[in-house]
Amino acid sequence: MSTESDSDVKDELARKRLIELASEFYDQFAEGTVPEMEIPTRTKSNIVFDEKKDVWVYGDRTSTRSANSVRGAQKLLKAIYTIEFLAEQLDQDRSSTLRELYYLSESWDEERAQFNDQDESNQLVEDLEIVSEVTREDFHMRPEESGATIMGPLFLREQTRRGERDIHCQEDVGEGGYQIPNNPDTIEFLDHDADFVLCVETGGMRDRLVENGFDEEYNVIVVHLKGQPARATRRITRRLHDELELPVVVFCDGDPWSYRIYASVSYGSIKSAHLSEYLATPAAEYVGIQPVDIVNYDLPTDPLSDSDINALESELDDPRFQSDYWREQIELQLDIGKKAEQQALASRGLDFVTDTYLPERLGEMGVL
C-alpha cells in the first residue's frame, strides 16, 4: 500500500523520467543527430515468455520513431508536447483522463502537435510508459471509469481526497459491490476470510453469483471484469494473488474473444506486455465456459462466425495459448462450430451455476 510519502516519491520519479526523455531529444539536436525514440515492436510475433518472471513480455524487436521524415518528426513533436503537459500535471498534483488529453491537445499552440484521434494519444502515452519505465498511473493519467467491482470477504482501506476510509467488501457495500479505483496500489488490504478469487466476465453472471450468495457460501472474492478488463482490475487481481496468496480462477463466455480476456488476466495483453509483471497473474486458471462444457451439458449455442473461426485459428498460433489444454479445447470448438455464453447454464436452472457447475469444476481444479 502506498503512503503519502511513497506517492510523492513516485510522482517525483515520474517527472524526472519525463524530463530526462525530453533532455535526450535536446541532446540529440545539440549533437547534430536526428532525434529518435526506440520502443519495442508491439505485435504478437514480438511476444516472448520470460521464464524468470513467468509472464509474456516484449522481445528484442524494436521500432524507431525518428524525425528523419515529416511523419516521424510530427510523432516526436506530439511526444514533446505530451511530456510537457504530463510534467506540469505532476507539478500541480492534478490528474486527467486519456480522453481529456486527446481534447486538451486541440488547445496546443502548434497545430501539428494535436492528435488526430484518441487512439493516437493513447498509443503515445503507452510509448512514454515503455521508454520511461513509469506507468501511466504514476503520470496521473486515468482511463474513463471502467465500473469494475469486487464483492467478497475482504476488508480494505482506501485513500480518498477526504482521508482514509475502511470498507468491508460485503458488509459495507450494496449489491453492486466495491468499485475498483483507478490506481489499486492506493488500497491497503487489512484482513480477509477468502479462499480464492473468481474473476467473472459478464455483469449478468456476476449478479447471479451474488444473488445466490456464492461469495458467502464459498468465501470467494468475486471480481467483475466487465468484459475486457481494465488495467486497474488486472492490477488488483494480481495483488490479491500475490499479497493474500489466493488462487485466481477466471470465468468467461465460451468464445475466442473471452479466451483472450482470460489471457489478458493470466499472461498479459499484447499492447501492455511492458507491464505484464505488474498486471498479469500467471497462476490464474480458466474455469469455463469450456468447449467441452458445450458438449457435455448440451448448452444452448450460437454458430461460430467467420471472425470467430479466424480468431480461434489465430489463437492456435498465439504464444499465450500454447498448451495441450488450450489446443484441445480450441480444436474441439472448431470441430463443433459452436459457442456459448455463461448465461447458457441457466437452461438447467438459475441455481445450476452455483450449485453444480462451479463447485464441480472448482473441485476438479483443486480450488475447492
Q: Are 17 and 86 in contact (CB under 8 A)?
A: no
Only one residue has cell 453469483, namely 209
Partners of residue 58 on adjacent β-strands: 47
**Rounded to 5 degrees, what are φ and ψ at 50?**
-90, 100
Partners of residue 49 on adjacent β-strands: 56
201 labeled part of a ligand binding site: yes
How close are the terminal C-alpha atoms of the chain, in Å? Answer: 29
Please give the positions annotated as active site: 103
Which distant-in-sequence residues (6+ apart) come within 8 Å of 58 by Cβ? Answer: 40, 41, 42, 46, 47, 48, 273, 274
| Chunked mean pLDDT (size 10), the chain, 368 residues | 60 84 81 79 73 72 79 83 86 80 81 84 84 81 74 89 85 87 87 94 88 92 89 92 95 93 83 73 91 90 92 86 90 94 85 91 91
C-alpha atoms less than 13 angstroms from C-alpha of 253 in its C-beta half-sphere: 24
**Residue length, the chain?**
368
**Rounded to 5 degrees, what are φ and ψ at 75?**
-65, -45
Residue 79 is inside which H or E element, if any?
helix 70-91
Query: To 5 degrees, how large is the angle CA 140–CA 143–CA 145?
Result: 115
Q: What pLDDT, on a 0 to 100 scale, did the predictor assign at position 6?
A: 63
Q: What pLDDT, on a 0 to 100 scale, did the predictor assign at position 224?
A: 92
Q: What pLDDT, on a 0 to 100 scale, did the predictor assign at position 216?
A: 92
Q: Are 323 and 348 in contact (CB under 8 A)?
A: no
Provide the grid cell at 90.
Answer: 505532476
C-alpha 328: how far from its chain's center? 26
Tell me the domains of the chain and their CATH numbers: 4-142 (1.10.10.10), 149-364 (3.40.1360.10)
